[in-house]
Amino acid sequence: GESVGLHLPTLSVQEGDNSIINCAYSNSASDYFIWYKQESGKGPQFIIDIRSNMDKRQGQRVTVLLNKTVKHLSLQIAATQPGDSAVYFCAETNDMRFGAGTRLTVKP
Amino acid sequence: NAGVMQNPRHLVRRRGQEARLRCSPMKGHSHVYWYRQLPEEGLKFMVYLQKENIIDESGMPKERFSAEFPKEGPSILRIQQVVRGDSAAYFCASSPNEETQYFGPGTRLLVL
């Protein structure tokens, strides 16, 4: 079946380093993707989105890359800060499916 | 513009009781989604509603669970005769356009 999944369940980085969180999707018809951040005890928070007619989109300290050939999505966080510690989900909105998420831990 | 509101934030029920979870979407949003999340797991889609209509309930258990989004008032997720396995966080999201979803803070249900 179609699915959205994450390659890595956990990621630990040093404060100030860059973080890369990966996501694979299998529905080739997917045309809109969103990254969410979920802090402990809170609901998911929209970070950045990208449509399938784009390869890259940048926000403040975050960049999303989309590779439609291999159906892969990544979220890059520059100069990771302790406040970035959370679980990150990618979502493919056509099917409203979320992966299990990647827990990012930032070490001071 | 207030965000998505959910209440109660925490709900404790005994087995066999009913749980009613409420979600008030953002102003101007007519699309509501309900998700369930177990600890250390992802969000599992349950149901998608527009005003007075259920659009997709493919993720909702066939028994004991129901959802509504009336013309006036919040969306309600209702769980009848709760069992311990219903303990989870239930998140509601709203959207103006079937794309970007904005999430509420969730209701944490504990069934004793």
Mean pLDDT of B11-17: 98
- What pLDDT, on a 0 to 100 scale, did the predictor assign at position B41? 80
Mean pLDDT of A1-29: 78
- Beta strands A56-58 and A45-51 are unpaired
Residue B30 has pLDDT above 50, yes or no: yes
- What pLDDT, on a 0 to 100 scale, did the predictor assign at position A21? 94
Contacts of A30 in chain B (CB under 8 A): none
- What pLDDT, on a 0 to 100 scale, did the predictor assign at position A4? 53
Mean pLDDT of A24-32: 85
DSSP A22-54: EEEE--TT--EEEEEEE-TTS--EEEEEEETT-
- DSSP code for A96: T
Kindly list the residues of chain A whose beta carbon comes within 8 Å of any beta carbon in chain B. Answer: 32, 34, 36, 42-46, 49, 89, 91, 93, 96-101
Contacts of B98 in chain A (CB under 8 A): 93
- Mutation target vs A (from B21, B32, B43; most A CBs, 10 A cutoff): B43
A43, B100: Cβ pair inside 8 Å? Answer: no
Residue B73 φ then ψ, to 5°: 100, 180
Q: Where residue B52 falls among pLDDT bands split at 50, 70, 90?
A: confident
Residue A100 has pLDDT above 90, yes or no: no
B99, A93: Cβ pair inside 8 Å? Answer: yes
- What pLDDT, on a 0 to 100 scale, did the predictor assign at position A9? 81
Q: State whether the Cα torsion B81-B13-B11-B20 is positive or negative.
A: positive
Contacts of A99 in chain B (CB under 8 A): 42
With a pLDDT cut of 70, the percent of chain B lying above it is 99
- What pLDDT, on a 0 to 100 scale, did the predictor assign at position A7? 43
Residue B35 has pLDDT above 50, yes or no: yes
Q: What is the CATH number of domain A5-107?
A: 2.60.40.10
Q: Give dist(CA B21, CA A41) in Å, integer.
A: 17
Q: Which two tokens stand for residue B41?
A: 């797991």
- DSSP code for B3: -
pLDDT in tens, A69-87: 999 999 999 999 999 999 9
With a pLDDT cut of 70, the percent of chain A lying above it is 91
CB A90 within 8 A of CB A83: no
- What pLDDT, on a 0 to 100 scale, did the predictor assign at position A6? 42
Q: What is the mean pLDDT of chain B?
A: 93
Tell which wins on pLDDT, B66 or B101.
Answer: B66
Number of A to B CB contacts under 8 A, please give it. 45
- DSSP code for A15: T
CB A17 within 8 A of CB A82: no
- What pLDDT, on a 0 to 100 scale, did the predictor assign at position B1? 54
Report the half-sphere exposure of B58 (CA within 13 A, side-chain side). 5
B52 touches chain A (CB under 8 A): no
B100, A98: Cβ pair inside 8 Å? Answer: no
